[in-house]
Structure 1
Amino acid sequence: MMRKKVSSCQLAVGSSRSSRVTDGLLPTANCQLPTGSRGFTLLELLITLTILTILTLGVVPLVKLSVRRQREQRLRDTLREMRLAIQEFHRDTIGSPCSGAPTSTTATNVSAIPQTAGDPRNQAGGQPAADPRSRVVITDCKIFTVDNPDRYPPDLETLVNGVNIAPRGGGGGNLIRETATSGPKATDIGSEASSTKKKVYLRQLPVDPITGEADWDFRSSYDVPDSTSWGKENVFDVRSKASGTALNGEKYSDW
């Protein structure tokens, strides 16, 4: 008859015929642990921690470098977006009915504004040719002052808030008077036809990815190229106020 193996631990007791355990003599257990249940030794733990430390020290700088590179790319894209908006605004001022003097009214037709020989719109006896990319003309004359005959935007808020415009005609920048039958344009605010249209050049005031603030350094069209201050006549160019150096060795303020 086969015996059942109850346990791998056997009790070792005295070889006496008596089953009574004498005082001070307790049964002892002789147990063997399975060979597959061994734990980690101290040396193995130290090796594992060393490897993890080396990997961490190598990965963290790469992550920081990647984040910095992404911020610099966003800064370039943001500067490009603002500069394109400034250029588009300036294109839409060609053929504008505004003479450059401050006014509280909005003109509706270029022909209604008298032109002089010194007027920048009257070059070689006529108005300068409009850029083919410009489909509208800015008629919001109150934003232009005598200090800004170049007709660049006075500030970035003007590009965000929008300006009054009218559709550009085919006659050298003259305007076409709006009628009730005119349909809405892609650059209009609102979907209803109206004699007064607005065009927005920036959806919102951009935030500098490097500084984390919507604060920029401006240059007017009358400032010298290496000027460190803004004359406030207009916004001809925009730069970052970050004082650091990019990965390519250039200063952020020089971009």
Structure 2
Amino acid sequence: MLQRLRGFSLIEMVITMALVALLASMALPMTETVIRRGHEQELKTALYQLRDAIDAYNMAATAGYIQTSANESGYPPSLQVLVEGVRDVRDVKGGKIYFLRRIPRDPFADQRREAAEHWGLRAYDSPADEPRAGDDVFDVYSLAPGTGLNGVPYRAW
């Protein structure tokens, strides 16, 4: 007596593959959005850290903890100064005040470049609508092209 072999027919296999492809095509855009949202959160965090360090430097300069001349704005001359530290004039041993451990990276920028090159710099004497670099760093912005999920260009964050 012949035994009939059990298995899937060709039609069952095609229907199963079509359902799997449909589910995958629905999940892919959702995955891309989740990844993009994660990068945007990293960008917000990096901008917050940089701006907080710039403000802390300015407060230390205003309070007299950092030696500045009368013609300086009280903002750091570069982002690197925030990492390298500045001499604390209150410390007789010549200690330094550090504002950042490292310059955060822009997650949308080319990761082969140095972290400090990821950011656009705005000097104290430049207008907000046309930021430009100068003798100090008053603010930072992303150089990444594109627009966030909220509809605002990354440059304007």
1:70 to 38, 44, 55: 38
1:200 to 98, 106, 112: 98
Matched residue, 1:17: none
1:43 to 11, 32, 57: 11
Q: Which has the higher contact order (CA 8 A, sep 6+)?
A: 2
| Cα distance in structure 2, aligned partners of 1:160 and 1:41 | 66
Shift of 1:226: 1.1
Aligned-residue RMSD, C-alpha? 1.7
- Which TM-score applies when normalising by structure 2? 0.90
- Does residue 1:243 correspond to 2:145, yes or no? yes
| Cα distance in structure 2, aligned partners of 1:63 and 1:145 | 53
5 Å-filtered alignment, 1:113-132, equals none
| Cα distance in structure 2, aligned partners of 1:223 and 1:145 | 19
Q: Percent identity?
A: 33
Deviations 1:223-245 (A, max 9, x none): 01211432x11000000001100
SS at match of 2:75: coil
Change in 2 beyond 3 A, CA 1:95/1:229: closer
| Cα distance in structure 1, aligned partners of 2:107 and 2:37 | 11
Matched residue, 2:57: 89
| Cα distance in structure 1, aligned partners of 2:62 and 2:131 | 29
- Does residue 1:154 correspond to 2:77, yes or no? yes
Structure (1/2) with the larger helix percentage: 2
Change in 2 beyond 3 A, CA 1:228/1:236: closer
Could you tell me which amino acid in structure 1 is paired with residue 32 of structure 2? Answer: K
- Does residue 1:33 correspond to 2:33, yes or no? no
SS at match of 1:151: coil
Unaligned runs of 5+ in 2: none
Deviations 1:18-73 (A, max 9, x none): xxxxxxxxxxxxx3115xx4111011011110000001001111111000001001
Please list every run of at least 4 consecutive aligned residues from structure 1 whose deviation after the TM superposition is greater than 3 angstroms.
none
Deviations 1:199-246 (A, max 9, x none): 11111121101114421101011001211432x110000000011000
Choose 1 or 2 for highest CA Rg: 1
Aligned length: 152
Shift of 1:150: 1.2
